[in-house]
Amino acid sequence: MATQGATLRSKQELIEKMSKPEVITGSEILLRSLVLEGVECVFGYPGGAVLYIYDAMHGFDDFHHILTRHEQGAIHAADGYARASGNVGVCIATSGPGATNLVTGIATAYMDSVPLVVITGNVVQSAIGTDAFQEADIVGITMPITKHSYLVRNVDDLPRIIHEAFHIANTGRKGPVLIDIPKDVSAAKTLFKPATGEVSMRGYNPTVAPKKQQVDKMLKAIEEAERPVILAGGGVVYSGAHEELLEFATKTGIPVVTTLLGLGGFPSGNDLWVGMPGMHGAYTSNKAIQGSDLLINIGARFDDRVTMKLDGFAPNAKIVHIDIDPAEIGKNVPTDIPIVGDVKTVLEVANAEAKPAAKAAAWREQLTALKAEFPLTYVDSNTELKPQWVIEMLHETTNGDAIVTTDVGQHQMWAAQYYKFNKPRSFVTSGGLGTMGFGFPSAIGAQMANPDRVVVSINGDGGMQMCAQELAICAINNIPVKVAIINNQVLGMVRQWQEIIYDNRYSHIDLAGSPDFVKLAEAYGVKGFRASNKEEAREAWEAALRHPGPAVVEFVVRKGENVYPMVTQGNTIDDMILGDAE
Protein backbone atom coordinates (compact mmCIF):
# COMPACT_ATOMS: atom_id res chain seq x y z
CA MET A 1 0.00 0.00 0.00
CA ALA A 2 2.87 2.33 0.73
CA THR A 3 4.21 1.82 -2.79
CA GLN A 4 0.79 2.47 -4.30
CA GLY A 5 0.38 5.60 -2.21
CA ALA A 6 3.80 6.81 -3.27
CA THR A 7 2.88 6.19 -6.91
CA LEU A 8 -0.36 8.13 -6.56
CA ARG A 9 1.48 11.00 -4.87
CA SER A 10 4.14 11.05 -7.58
CA LYS A 11 1.47 11.16 -10.30
CA GLN A 12 -0.32 13.99 -8.53
CA GLU A 13 2.96 15.81 -8.04
CA LEU A 14 3.72 15.38 -11.73
CA ILE A 15 0.32 16.77 -12.72
CA GLU A 16 0.81 19.76 -10.41
CA LYS A 17 4.28 20.33 -11.81
CA MET A 18 3.09 20.13 -15.42
CA SER A 19 0.06 22.35 -14.76
CA LYS A 20 2.03 25.18 -13.19
CA PRO A 21 1.19 28.48 -14.94
CA GLU A 22 4.41 29.89 -16.36
CA VAL A 23 5.55 31.85 -19.38
CA ILE A 24 7.13 29.11 -21.50
CA THR A 25 7.69 28.24 -25.17
CA GLY A 26 5.29 26.42 -27.42
CA SER A 27 7.70 23.48 -27.32
CA GLU A 28 7.53 23.31 -23.55
CA ILE A 29 3.74 23.63 -23.72
CA LEU A 30 3.65 20.65 -26.07
CA LEU A 31 5.71 18.47 -23.75
CA ARG A 32 3.74 19.44 -20.67
CA SER A 33 0.44 18.89 -22.45
CA LEU A 34 1.50 15.42 -23.58
CA VAL A 35 2.29 14.46 -19.99
CA LEU A 36 -1.08 15.83 -18.84
CA GLU A 37 -2.74 13.59 -21.45
CA GLY A 38 -1.07 10.60 -19.80
CA VAL A 39 1.59 10.02 -22.45
CA GLU A 40 4.40 7.79 -21.21
CA CYS A 41 6.23 7.02 -24.45
CA VAL A 42 6.85 8.97 -27.66
CA PHE A 43 8.53 7.72 -30.83
CA GLY A 44 10.27 10.21 -33.05
CA TYR A 45 13.05 11.52 -35.25
CA PRO A 46 14.36 15.10 -35.04
CA GLY A 47 15.02 17.61 -37.79
CA GLY A 48 15.24 21.34 -38.38
CA ALA A 49 11.56 22.24 -37.98
CA VAL A 50 11.23 20.43 -34.63
CA LEU A 51 14.56 21.41 -33.09
CA TYR A 52 12.92 23.75 -30.56
CA ILE A 53 10.78 20.80 -29.46
CA TYR A 54 13.79 18.51 -29.15
CA ASP A 55 15.74 21.24 -27.36
CA ALA A 56 12.92 21.35 -24.81
CA MET A 57 13.32 17.57 -24.40
CA HIS A 58 16.91 18.02 -23.24
CA GLY A 59 16.86 16.81 -19.65
CA PHE A 60 13.09 16.19 -19.86
CA ASP A 61 12.42 12.77 -18.37
CA ASP A 62 8.68 12.82 -17.66
CA PHE A 63 8.03 10.60 -20.67
CA HIS A 64 10.25 8.19 -22.56
CA HIS A 65 11.35 9.19 -26.06
CA ILE A 66 12.50 6.44 -28.44
CA LEU A 67 14.71 7.65 -31.27
CA THR A 68 13.85 5.36 -34.17
CA ARG A 69 16.01 4.98 -37.25
CA HIS A 70 13.29 6.01 -39.72
CA GLU A 71 10.10 8.03 -39.36
CA GLN A 72 8.09 5.09 -40.68
CA GLY A 73 9.51 3.01 -37.84
CA ALA A 74 8.37 5.71 -35.41
CA ILE A 75 4.76 5.77 -36.54
CA HIS A 76 4.45 1.99 -36.81
CA ALA A 77 5.87 1.72 -33.28
CA ALA A 78 3.35 4.30 -32.05
CA ASP A 79 0.63 2.29 -33.82
CA GLY A 80 1.72 -0.95 -32.14
CA TYR A 81 1.81 0.84 -28.80
CA ALA A 82 -1.77 2.02 -29.28
CA ARG A 83 -3.14 -1.34 -30.44
CA ALA A 84 -1.48 -3.29 -27.65
CA SER A 85 -2.35 -0.86 -24.85
CA GLY A 86 -5.60 0.86 -25.82
CA ASN A 87 -3.93 4.22 -25.25
CA VAL A 88 -3.19 6.89 -27.83
CA GLY A 89 0.10 6.39 -29.66
CA VAL A 90 2.29 9.46 -30.22
CA CYS A 91 5.04 10.17 -32.73
CA ILE A 92 7.00 13.24 -33.78
CA ALA A 93 8.75 14.09 -37.05
CA THR A 94 10.14 17.12 -38.75
CA SER A 95 8.77 18.92 -41.80
CA GLY A 96 9.05 17.91 -45.44
CA PRO A 97 10.52 14.40 -45.86
CA GLY A 98 10.16 13.70 -42.14
CA ALA A 99 6.44 14.34 -42.34
CA THR A 100 5.91 12.59 -45.66
CA ASN A 101 7.71 9.51 -44.35
CA LEU A 102 4.81 9.20 -41.90
CA VAL A 103 2.14 9.03 -44.57
CA THR A 104 2.07 5.23 -44.95
CA GLY A 105 1.81 4.81 -41.19
CA ILE A 106 -0.98 7.38 -40.94
CA ALA A 107 -2.91 5.55 -43.66
CA THR A 108 -2.29 2.24 -41.88
CA ALA A 109 -3.76 3.59 -38.64
CA TYR A 110 -6.65 5.29 -40.42
CA MET A 111 -7.72 2.12 -42.23
CA ASP A 112 -7.62 0.09 -38.99
CA SER A 113 -9.13 2.77 -36.69
CA VAL A 114 -6.08 3.16 -34.45
CA PRO A 115 -5.83 6.23 -32.16
CA LEU A 116 -2.68 8.22 -32.89
CA VAL A 117 -1.60 11.81 -32.34
CA VAL A 118 0.94 12.61 -35.03
CA ILE A 119 3.03 15.72 -34.42
CA THR A 120 4.94 17.30 -37.27
CA GLY A 121 7.04 20.40 -37.52
CA ASN A 122 6.66 22.93 -40.30
CA VAL A 123 8.60 25.88 -41.62
CA VAL A 124 7.93 29.28 -40.07
CA GLN A 125 4.53 30.66 -41.02
CA SER A 126 6.00 33.45 -43.14
CA ALA A 127 7.63 30.81 -45.37
CA ILE A 128 4.59 28.56 -45.79
CA GLY A 129 3.63 28.38 -49.45
CA THR A 130 7.01 29.59 -50.72
CA ASP A 131 8.49 26.14 -51.40
CA ALA A 132 10.89 26.70 -48.54
CA PHE A 133 13.54 24.14 -47.64
CA GLN A 134 11.87 20.96 -46.34
CA GLU A 135 8.40 22.40 -46.76
CA ALA A 136 5.47 20.11 -47.54
CA ASP A 137 1.75 20.65 -47.07
CA ILE A 138 1.38 17.68 -44.75
CA VAL A 139 -2.11 18.76 -43.67
CA GLY A 140 -3.26 18.71 -47.29
CA ILE A 141 -1.37 15.54 -48.12
CA THR A 142 -2.89 13.57 -45.24
CA MET A 143 -6.39 15.05 -45.22
CA PRO A 144 -8.00 11.89 -46.69
CA ILE A 145 -6.26 9.63 -44.14
CA THR A 146 -6.65 11.55 -40.87
CA LYS A 147 -9.65 11.83 -38.62
CA HIS A 148 -8.82 15.50 -38.10
CA SER A 149 -5.88 17.84 -38.70
CA TYR A 150 -4.59 21.03 -37.10
CA LEU A 151 -2.18 23.64 -38.43
CA VAL A 152 -1.29 25.59 -35.29
CA ARG A 153 -1.18 29.32 -36.03
CA ASN A 154 -1.05 30.70 -32.49
CA VAL A 155 0.95 29.39 -29.55
CA ASP A 156 -1.96 30.19 -27.23
CA ASP A 157 -4.06 27.56 -29.04
CA LEU A 158 -1.63 24.70 -28.40
CA PRO A 159 -3.02 23.43 -25.06
CA ARG A 160 -6.58 23.32 -26.42
CA ILE A 161 -5.54 21.71 -29.69
CA ILE A 162 -3.55 18.96 -28.00
CA HIS A 163 -6.40 18.23 -25.59
CA GLU A 164 -8.88 18.09 -28.46
CA ALA A 165 -6.59 15.92 -30.56
CA PHE A 166 -6.40 13.22 -27.92
CA HIS A 167 -10.16 13.34 -27.44
CA ILE A 168 -10.86 13.02 -31.16
CA ALA A 169 -8.29 10.26 -31.69
CA ASN A 170 -9.62 8.04 -28.91
CA THR A 171 -13.39 8.52 -29.10
CA GLY A 172 -16.02 7.49 -31.62
CA ARG A 173 -14.42 5.57 -34.43
CA LYS A 174 -10.82 5.94 -33.36
CA GLY A 175 -8.15 7.18 -35.72
CA PRO A 176 -5.09 9.36 -36.31
CA VAL A 177 -5.08 13.11 -35.68
CA LEU A 178 -2.33 15.34 -37.09
CA ILE A 179 -0.94 18.42 -35.35
CA ASP A 180 1.34 20.48 -37.61
CA ILE A 181 3.38 23.06 -35.67
CA PRO A 182 5.32 25.78 -37.53
CA LYS A 183 8.75 26.49 -36.11
CA ASP A 184 7.87 30.01 -35.01
CA VAL A 185 4.96 28.64 -32.97
CA SER A 186 7.17 26.10 -31.21
CA ALA A 187 9.60 28.93 -30.38
CA ALA A 188 7.03 31.53 -29.28
CA LYS A 189 6.43 32.16 -25.57
CA THR A 190 3.17 32.62 -23.72
CA LEU A 191 1.56 32.01 -20.34
CA PHE A 192 0.77 28.31 -20.18
CA LYS A 193 -2.84 27.60 -19.28
CA PRO A 194 -3.43 23.84 -19.40
CA ALA A 195 -6.55 22.57 -21.12
CA THR A 196 -8.47 20.20 -18.89
CA GLY A 197 -11.93 18.79 -18.48
CA GLU A 198 -14.53 17.61 -20.97
CA VAL A 199 -14.06 18.45 -24.62
CA SER A 200 -17.05 19.95 -26.41
CA MET A 201 -16.74 20.40 -30.15
CA ARG A 202 -19.54 21.53 -32.41
CA GLY A 203 -20.23 18.89 -35.03
CA TYR A 204 -18.38 16.11 -33.23
CA ASN A 205 -20.69 14.07 -31.04
CA PRO A 206 -20.24 10.34 -31.66
CA THR A 207 -23.25 8.21 -30.85
CA VAL A 208 -22.38 5.91 -27.96
CA ALA A 209 -25.75 4.66 -26.70
CA PRO A 210 -27.91 2.79 -29.24
CA LYS A 211 -31.60 3.25 -29.88
CA LYS A 212 -33.31 0.70 -27.68
CA GLN A 213 -35.89 -0.22 -30.32
CA GLN A 214 -33.10 -1.28 -32.68
CA VAL A 215 -31.58 -3.55 -30.06
CA ASP A 216 -35.03 -5.00 -29.43
CA LYS A 217 -35.37 -5.75 -33.15
CA MET A 218 -32.09 -7.66 -33.04
CA LEU A 219 -33.18 -9.66 -29.98
CA LYS A 220 -36.47 -10.48 -31.72
CA ALA A 221 -34.58 -11.64 -34.81
CA ILE A 222 -32.44 -13.90 -32.62
CA GLU A 223 -35.56 -15.56 -31.21
CA GLU A 224 -36.74 -16.35 -34.73
CA ALA A 225 -33.38 -17.38 -36.24
CA GLU A 226 -32.48 -21.00 -36.92
CA ARG A 227 -28.95 -20.39 -38.24
CA PRO A 228 -27.56 -17.25 -36.55
CA VAL A 229 -23.89 -16.23 -36.72
CA ILE A 230 -21.96 -13.41 -35.03
CA LEU A 231 -19.25 -11.70 -37.11
CA ALA A 232 -16.98 -9.97 -34.59
CA GLY A 233 -14.50 -7.37 -35.82
CA GLY A 234 -11.83 -5.01 -34.54
CA GLY A 235 -14.46 -2.79 -32.96
CA VAL A 236 -14.94 -5.43 -30.26
CA VAL A 237 -11.28 -5.14 -29.33
CA TYR A 238 -11.05 -1.35 -29.63
CA SER A 239 -14.13 -0.73 -27.47
CA GLY A 240 -12.99 -3.20 -24.81
CA ALA A 241 -16.13 -5.27 -25.37
CA HIS A 242 -14.61 -8.76 -25.23
CA GLU A 243 -16.31 -9.65 -21.95
CA GLU A 244 -19.66 -8.33 -23.17
CA LEU A 245 -19.32 -10.30 -26.41
CA LEU A 246 -18.54 -13.48 -24.48
CA GLU A 247 -21.60 -12.89 -22.31
CA PHE A 248 -23.80 -12.16 -25.35
CA ALA A 249 -22.64 -15.27 -27.22
CA THR A 250 -23.01 -17.43 -24.10
CA LYS A 251 -26.51 -16.18 -23.34
CA THR A 252 -27.73 -16.54 -26.91
CA GLY A 253 -25.68 -19.59 -27.90
CA ILE A 254 -24.81 -18.01 -31.25
CA PRO A 255 -21.59 -19.23 -32.99
CA VAL A 256 -18.90 -16.58 -33.46
CA VAL A 257 -16.50 -15.90 -36.31
CA THR A 258 -13.81 -13.25 -35.84
CA THR A 259 -12.21 -11.13 -38.53
CA LEU A 260 -8.44 -10.68 -38.82
CA LEU A 261 -8.54 -7.60 -36.57
CA GLY A 262 -11.13 -9.21 -34.32
CA LEU A 263 -8.86 -12.13 -33.36
CA GLY A 264 -8.59 -12.26 -29.58
CA GLY A 265 -11.87 -10.39 -29.16
CA PHE A 266 -13.49 -13.79 -28.54
CA PRO A 267 -11.52 -16.68 -27.03
CA SER A 268 -10.48 -19.22 -29.64
CA GLY A 269 -10.78 -21.99 -27.07
CA ASN A 270 -14.49 -21.38 -26.62
CA ASP A 271 -16.80 -24.00 -28.13
CA LEU A 272 -18.82 -21.27 -29.88
CA TRP A 273 -15.79 -19.94 -31.78
CA VAL A 274 -15.82 -21.10 -35.38
CA GLY A 275 -12.73 -19.35 -36.79
CA MET A 276 -11.70 -16.51 -39.09
CA PRO A 277 -13.70 -15.94 -42.29
CA GLY A 278 -12.77 -14.57 -45.71
CA MET A 279 -10.18 -15.09 -48.42
CA HIS A 280 -8.01 -17.26 -46.17
CA GLY A 281 -10.68 -18.05 -43.63
CA ALA A 282 -11.48 -21.44 -42.17
CA TYR A 283 -13.79 -23.72 -44.13
CA THR A 284 -16.42 -23.80 -41.38
CA SER A 285 -16.34 -20.01 -40.88
CA ASN A 286 -17.10 -19.31 -44.50
CA LYS A 287 -19.75 -22.01 -44.69
CA ALA A 288 -21.34 -20.65 -41.50
CA ILE A 289 -21.72 -17.17 -42.96
CA GLN A 290 -23.03 -18.46 -46.26
CA GLY A 291 -25.53 -20.74 -44.57
CA SER A 292 -26.73 -18.28 -41.96
CA ASP A 293 -30.23 -16.84 -41.80
CA LEU A 294 -29.15 -14.09 -39.36
CA LEU A 295 -25.71 -12.45 -39.51
CA ILE A 296 -24.93 -10.08 -36.63
CA ASN A 297 -21.95 -7.90 -37.54
CA ILE A 298 -20.41 -6.47 -34.37
CA GLY A 299 -17.72 -3.89 -35.01
CA ALA A 300 -16.59 -5.05 -38.45
CA ARG A 301 -16.82 -3.11 -41.68
CA PHE A 302 -17.54 -5.86 -44.21
CA ASP A 303 -14.09 -5.56 -45.74
CA ASP A 304 -13.75 -7.07 -49.21
CA ARG A 305 -11.28 -9.69 -47.93
CA VAL A 306 -14.07 -10.91 -45.64
CA THR A 307 -16.99 -10.69 -48.06
CA MET A 308 -15.15 -11.46 -51.34
CA LYS A 309 -17.83 -11.38 -54.07
CA LEU A 310 -20.54 -9.17 -52.61
CA ASP A 311 -23.22 -10.56 -54.88
CA GLY A 312 -23.68 -13.86 -53.12
CA PHE A 313 -22.35 -12.94 -49.66
CA ALA A 314 -24.57 -14.38 -46.88
CA PRO A 315 -27.35 -14.72 -49.47
CA ASN A 316 -30.10 -15.91 -47.12
CA ALA A 317 -29.23 -13.86 -44.04
CA LYS A 318 -30.99 -10.98 -42.38
CA ILE A 319 -28.16 -8.53 -41.65
CA VAL A 320 -27.68 -6.75 -38.31
CA HIS A 321 -24.81 -4.27 -38.27
CA ILE A 322 -23.54 -2.73 -35.00
CA ASP A 323 -20.99 0.04 -35.52
CA ILE A 324 -20.08 3.36 -33.95
CA ASP A 325 -19.50 4.83 -37.41
CA PRO A 326 -22.86 5.24 -39.16
CA ALA A 327 -21.06 5.68 -42.50
CA GLU A 328 -20.06 2.00 -42.42
CA ILE A 329 -23.58 0.67 -42.02
CA GLY A 330 -25.00 -0.25 -45.39
CA LYS A 331 -21.87 0.92 -47.22
CA ASN A 332 -20.93 -2.51 -48.57
CA VAL A 333 -23.69 -4.89 -47.50
CA PRO A 334 -27.38 -3.89 -47.31
CA THR A 335 -28.44 -3.84 -43.66
CA ASP A 336 -31.82 -4.88 -42.27
CA ILE A 337 -31.27 -3.81 -38.66
CA PRO A 338 -28.76 -0.95 -38.25
CA ILE A 339 -27.55 -0.23 -34.72
CA VAL A 340 -25.34 2.83 -34.30
CA GLY A 341 -23.39 2.97 -31.07
CA ASP A 342 -20.32 1.90 -29.17
CA VAL A 343 -20.04 -1.88 -29.33
CA LYS A 344 -19.49 -2.25 -25.57
CA THR A 345 -22.52 -0.10 -24.76
CA VAL A 346 -24.72 -1.83 -27.34
CA LEU A 347 -23.84 -5.27 -25.96
CA GLU A 348 -24.46 -4.12 -22.39
CA VAL A 349 -27.95 -3.07 -23.42
CA ALA A 350 -28.52 -6.30 -25.34
CA ASN A 351 -27.19 -8.52 -22.54
CA ALA A 352 -29.77 -7.16 -20.11
CA GLU A 353 -32.51 -8.95 -22.08
CA ALA A 354 -30.68 -11.49 -24.24
CA LYS A 355 -32.17 -14.98 -24.39
CA PRO A 356 -31.01 -18.21 -26.00
CA ALA A 357 -31.50 -18.62 -29.73
CA ALA A 358 -34.01 -21.39 -29.07
CA LYS A 359 -34.19 -22.66 -32.64
CA ALA A 360 -30.42 -22.83 -33.22
CA ALA A 361 -29.41 -26.03 -31.41
CA ALA A 362 -29.22 -28.11 -34.58
CA TRP A 363 -27.22 -25.35 -36.29
CA ARG A 364 -24.60 -25.35 -33.53
CA GLU A 365 -24.28 -29.12 -33.79
CA GLN A 366 -23.90 -28.86 -37.54
CA LEU A 367 -21.10 -26.32 -37.29
CA THR A 368 -19.33 -28.29 -34.56
CA ALA A 369 -19.37 -31.37 -36.78
CA LEU A 370 -18.19 -29.35 -39.78
CA LYS A 371 -15.32 -27.85 -37.78
CA ALA A 372 -14.20 -31.34 -36.75
CA GLU A 373 -14.46 -32.66 -40.30
CA PHE A 374 -12.67 -29.72 -41.96
CA PRO A 375 -9.99 -28.37 -39.59
CA LEU A 376 -7.19 -26.15 -40.78
CA THR A 377 -4.58 -28.57 -42.09
CA TYR A 378 -1.33 -28.82 -43.99
CA VAL A 379 1.00 -31.53 -45.20
CA ASP A 380 3.79 -31.69 -42.63
CA SER A 381 7.35 -32.74 -43.41
CA ASN A 382 10.23 -34.26 -41.50
CA THR A 383 12.79 -33.03 -44.03
CA GLU A 384 11.63 -29.47 -44.69
CA LEU A 385 10.58 -26.85 -42.15
CA LYS A 386 6.95 -25.93 -42.73
CA PRO A 387 5.84 -22.39 -41.76
CA GLN A 388 2.55 -23.63 -40.31
CA TRP A 389 4.47 -25.92 -37.96
CA VAL A 390 6.65 -22.99 -36.92
CA ILE A 391 3.59 -20.93 -35.94
CA GLU A 392 2.16 -23.86 -33.99
CA MET A 393 5.48 -24.20 -32.19
CA LEU A 394 5.50 -20.48 -31.35
CA HIS A 395 2.02 -20.86 -29.87
CA GLU A 396 3.00 -23.92 -27.86
CA THR A 397 6.19 -22.45 -26.42
CA THR A 398 4.50 -19.19 -25.39
CA ASN A 399 1.37 -20.94 -24.07
CA GLY A 400 -0.63 -18.72 -26.40
CA ASP A 401 -0.04 -15.77 -24.06
CA ALA A 402 2.30 -13.65 -26.18
CA ILE A 403 1.46 -10.43 -27.96
CA VAL A 404 2.00 -11.32 -31.60
CA THR A 405 2.66 -8.74 -34.28
CA THR A 406 3.00 -9.57 -37.95
CA ASP A 407 4.08 -8.02 -41.16
CA VAL A 408 1.96 -8.63 -44.27
CA GLY A 409 1.87 -11.70 -46.48
CA GLN A 410 1.70 -15.46 -46.13
CA HIS A 411 3.23 -15.48 -42.64
CA GLN A 412 0.49 -13.05 -41.53
CA MET A 413 -2.23 -15.47 -42.61
CA TRP A 414 -0.46 -18.47 -41.07
CA ALA A 415 -0.14 -16.54 -37.81
CA ALA A 416 -3.85 -15.72 -37.91
CA GLN A 417 -4.71 -19.35 -38.62
CA TYR A 418 -2.34 -21.31 -36.38
CA TYR A 419 -1.63 -19.07 -33.37
CA LYS A 420 -4.74 -19.29 -31.19
CA PHE A 421 -5.65 -16.00 -29.52
CA ASN A 422 -7.67 -15.95 -26.32
CA LYS A 423 -7.04 -12.39 -25.14
CA PRO A 424 -7.81 -9.03 -26.74
CA ARG A 425 -4.97 -6.77 -27.89
CA SER A 426 -2.75 -9.81 -28.37
CA PHE A 427 -2.69 -9.70 -32.18
CA VAL A 428 -1.26 -6.61 -33.88
CA THR A 429 -1.33 -6.58 -37.67
CA SER A 430 -1.99 -4.22 -40.59
CA GLY A 431 -5.40 -5.28 -41.88
CA GLY A 432 -6.96 -2.67 -44.14
CA LEU A 433 -3.86 -1.20 -45.78
CA GLY A 434 -1.70 -4.33 -45.68
CA THR A 435 1.52 -2.45 -44.95
CA MET A 436 4.79 -4.29 -45.39
CA GLY A 437 7.38 -3.06 -42.91
CA PHE A 438 4.75 -2.72 -40.17
CA GLY A 439 5.41 -5.91 -38.22
CA PHE A 440 8.74 -5.36 -36.51
CA PRO A 441 8.46 -1.69 -35.44
CA SER A 442 4.89 -2.29 -34.23
CA ALA A 443 6.31 -5.01 -31.96
CA ILE A 444 8.67 -2.44 -30.45
CA GLY A 445 5.70 -0.25 -29.59
CA ALA A 446 3.75 -3.20 -28.22
CA GLN A 447 6.69 -4.18 -26.02
CA MET A 448 7.08 -0.63 -24.69
CA ALA A 449 3.40 -0.68 -23.76
CA ASN A 450 3.66 -4.14 -22.16
CA PRO A 451 7.15 -4.54 -20.69
CA ASP A 452 6.18 -7.61 -18.68
CA ARG A 453 4.72 -9.65 -21.57
CA VAL A 454 6.44 -11.69 -24.26
CA VAL A 455 6.15 -9.90 -27.61
CA VAL A 456 6.74 -11.96 -30.73
CA SER A 457 7.22 -10.26 -34.10
CA ILE A 458 6.49 -12.64 -36.97
CA ASN A 459 7.87 -11.37 -40.29
CA GLY A 460 8.59 -12.47 -43.81
CA ASP A 461 12.05 -12.04 -45.28
CA GLY A 462 10.64 -9.28 -47.51
CA GLY A 463 8.90 -7.09 -44.93
CA MET A 464 11.67 -7.51 -42.39
CA GLN A 465 14.07 -5.71 -44.71
CA MET A 466 11.80 -2.67 -44.91
CA CYS A 467 12.36 -1.65 -41.27
CA ALA A 468 15.25 -3.88 -40.15
CA GLN A 469 17.22 -0.81 -39.07
CA GLU A 470 15.00 -0.58 -35.98
CA LEU A 471 17.02 -3.49 -34.57
CA ALA A 472 19.37 -0.76 -33.38
CA ILE A 473 16.86 0.68 -30.92
CA CYS A 474 16.05 -2.77 -29.56
CA ALA A 475 19.74 -3.27 -28.81
CA ILE A 476 20.33 0.21 -27.40
CA ASN A 477 17.21 0.23 -25.22
CA ASN A 478 17.24 -3.52 -24.49
CA ILE A 479 13.70 -3.94 -25.81
CA PRO A 480 13.30 -7.74 -25.59
CA VAL A 481 11.21 -8.34 -28.72
CA LYS A 482 11.57 -11.87 -30.10
CA VAL A 483 11.66 -11.70 -33.90
CA ALA A 484 10.67 -14.75 -35.96
CA ILE A 485 11.57 -14.43 -39.64
CA ILE A 486 9.72 -16.90 -41.87
CA ASN A 487 12.29 -16.99 -44.65
CA ASN A 488 11.04 -18.61 -47.85
CA GLN A 489 13.44 -16.59 -50.06
CA VAL A 490 10.55 -15.15 -52.06
CA LEU A 491 7.66 -12.69 -51.97
CA GLY A 492 5.44 -15.55 -50.90
CA MET A 493 1.92 -14.19 -51.25
CA VAL A 494 2.70 -12.66 -54.63
CA ARG A 495 4.25 -15.98 -55.71
CA GLN A 496 1.11 -17.81 -54.57
CA TRP A 497 -1.13 -15.53 -56.63
CA GLN A 498 1.15 -15.87 -59.65
CA GLU A 499 1.01 -19.65 -59.29
CA ILE A 500 -2.76 -19.98 -58.85
CA ILE A 501 -4.17 -17.01 -60.76
CA TYR A 502 -1.45 -16.12 -63.28
CA ASP A 503 -0.64 -19.65 -64.52
CA ASN A 504 2.79 -19.96 -62.89
CA ARG A 505 4.13 -16.80 -64.55
CA TYR A 506 6.54 -15.80 -61.78
CA SER A 507 7.57 -12.20 -62.18
CA HIS A 508 10.04 -10.31 -59.98
CA ILE A 509 9.46 -12.16 -56.70
CA ASP A 510 12.89 -13.70 -56.05
CA LEU A 511 14.43 -12.30 -52.88
CA ALA A 512 17.86 -13.77 -53.59
CA GLY A 513 20.50 -11.42 -52.26
CA SER A 514 18.71 -10.93 -48.94
CA PRO A 515 21.14 -10.59 -46.04
CA ASP A 516 22.23 -13.27 -43.65
CA PHE A 517 19.67 -12.32 -40.98
CA VAL A 518 21.77 -13.79 -38.17
CA LYS A 519 24.75 -11.64 -39.15
CA LEU A 520 22.45 -8.65 -39.65
CA ALA A 521 21.07 -9.05 -36.13
CA GLU A 522 24.55 -9.45 -34.68
CA ALA A 523 25.74 -6.36 -36.56
CA TYR A 524 23.16 -4.38 -34.57
CA GLY A 525 24.13 -6.08 -31.31
CA VAL A 526 21.12 -8.41 -31.23
CA LYS A 527 21.31 -12.15 -30.59
CA GLY A 528 20.70 -14.15 -33.78
CA PHE A 529 19.75 -17.77 -34.48
CA ARG A 530 18.95 -19.83 -37.58
CA ALA A 531 16.96 -23.04 -38.06
CA SER A 532 16.12 -25.18 -41.08
CA ASN A 533 14.56 -28.25 -39.44
CA LYS A 534 12.25 -28.96 -36.52
CA GLU A 535 14.96 -29.83 -34.02
CA GLU A 536 16.97 -26.71 -34.81
CA ALA A 537 13.80 -24.61 -34.82
CA ARG A 538 12.69 -25.63 -31.36
CA GLU A 539 16.18 -25.34 -29.92
CA ALA A 540 16.80 -21.89 -31.44
CA TRP A 541 13.42 -20.52 -30.46
CA GLU A 542 13.61 -21.72 -26.88
CA ALA A 543 17.09 -20.17 -26.62
CA ALA A 544 15.65 -16.90 -27.92
CA LEU A 545 12.88 -17.00 -25.32
CA ARG A 546 15.41 -17.62 -22.55
CA HIS A 547 17.58 -14.73 -23.71
CA PRO A 548 16.78 -11.64 -21.60
CA GLY A 549 17.14 -9.18 -24.45
CA PRO A 550 16.02 -8.90 -28.08
CA ALA A 551 16.58 -11.89 -30.33
CA VAL A 552 16.11 -12.79 -33.99
CA VAL A 553 15.40 -16.32 -35.19
CA GLU A 554 15.51 -17.02 -38.92
CA PHE A 555 13.36 -20.01 -39.85
CA VAL A 556 14.34 -21.25 -43.31
CA VAL A 557 11.10 -22.77 -44.62
CA ARG A 558 9.84 -24.44 -47.77
CA LYS A 559 9.79 -21.95 -50.64
CA GLY A 560 6.69 -23.19 -52.44
CA GLU A 561 4.27 -23.45 -49.50
CA ASN A 562 0.84 -21.87 -50.01
CA VAL A 563 -1.79 -20.50 -47.63
CA TYR A 564 -5.01 -22.50 -47.67
CA PRO A 565 -7.97 -22.30 -47.71
CA MET A 566 -8.04 -19.64 -50.39
CA VAL A 567 -10.89 -17.88 -52.17
CA THR A 568 -9.82 -16.25 -55.42
CA GLN A 569 -11.19 -12.89 -56.47
CA GLY A 570 -14.56 -12.95 -58.15
CA ASN A 571 -15.80 -15.91 -56.12
CA THR A 572 -18.02 -16.18 -53.07
CA ILE A 573 -16.44 -17.17 -49.78
CA ASP A 574 -17.82 -20.71 -49.87
CA ASP A 575 -15.98 -21.36 -53.15
CA MET A 576 -12.71 -22.35 -51.50
CA ILE A 577 -9.49 -23.96 -52.68
CA LEU A 578 -8.58 -26.25 -49.80
CA GLY A 579 -5.07 -26.96 -51.04
CA ASP A 580 -2.63 -29.83 -50.79
CA ALA A 581 -4.58 -31.67 -48.11
CA GLU A 582 -7.89 -31.39 -50.00
* CA torsion angle 181 187 188 193 (round to 10): 70
309 DSSP assignment: S
* pLDDT value of position 9: 56
Query: Is 276 assigned a catalytic role?
Result: no
Query: Could you tell me the CA-to-CA distances from 316 to 96, 223, 289 in Å, in that order?
Result: 52, 17, 9
Report which of 446, 449, 436, 448 is spatially closest to residue 404, judged by C-alpha positions: 446
Q: Which of 183, 318, 344, 527 is catalytic?
A: 183
Where do runs of H (alpha helix) occur along 329-477?
A: 343-351, 361-373, 387-397, 410-418, 439-449, 471-477
Closest CA to 53 of 86, 90, 107: 90
- Which pLDDT value is given to residue 12? 80
Measured distance CA(232)–CA(301) in Å, rounded:
10
Taking the alpha carbons of 435, 495, 388, 487 in that order, is the dihedral positive or negative?
A: negative
pLDDT in the model for residue 52? 97
With a cut of 50, which residues of the chain have pLDDT below it? Answer: 1-2, 582
**Angle (deg, nearest 10), helices 387-397 and 410-418:** 50
Q: What is the rounded CA–CA span in Å between residue 227 and residue 384?
A: 42
Q: Say how far apart CA 513 and CA 218 lie, in whole Å.
A: 56
Q: Which of 218, 308, 436, 493 is catalytic?
A: 493
Catalytic residue among 13, 17, 133, 212: 133
Q: What is the DSSP letter of 31?
A: H
HEC assignment per residue over 211-262: CHHHHHHHHHHHHHCCCEEEEECHHHHHCCCHHHHHHHHHHHCCCEEECCCC
The number of helix segments (H) and strand segments (E) in the chain equals 23, 20
Q: Please tell me the distance from the alpha carbon of residue 398 to that of residue 391, in angstroms, as a whole number.
A: 11
Judge contact between 274 and 259, C-beta under 8 A: no
DSSP codes of every residue in 270-287:
STTEEE--STT--HHHHH
Residue 2 is predicted with a pLDDT of 41
The answer to whether 115 and 89 are in contact (CB under 8 A) is: yes
Residue pair 488/559 in contact by the 8 Å Cβ criterion: yes
Strands 482-487 and 148-151, by their bridges, are unpaired
**N-to-C CA span, the chain:** 60
Q: Is 134 a catalytic residue?
A: yes
Q: Is 571 exposed, middle or buried (0-12, 13-18, 19+ CB in 10 A)?
A: middle
Identity of the amino acid at 163: H
At residue 399, the pLDDT reads 96
569 carries an active-site annotation: no
Of the listed 125, 134, 366, 489, which one is catalytic? Answer: 134
Active-site residue identified among 28, 37, 71, 554: 71
User: Under 8 Å CB-to-CB from 396, ≥6 apart: which residues?
Assistant: none
Helix (H, G, I), strand (E, B) or coil at 65: strand
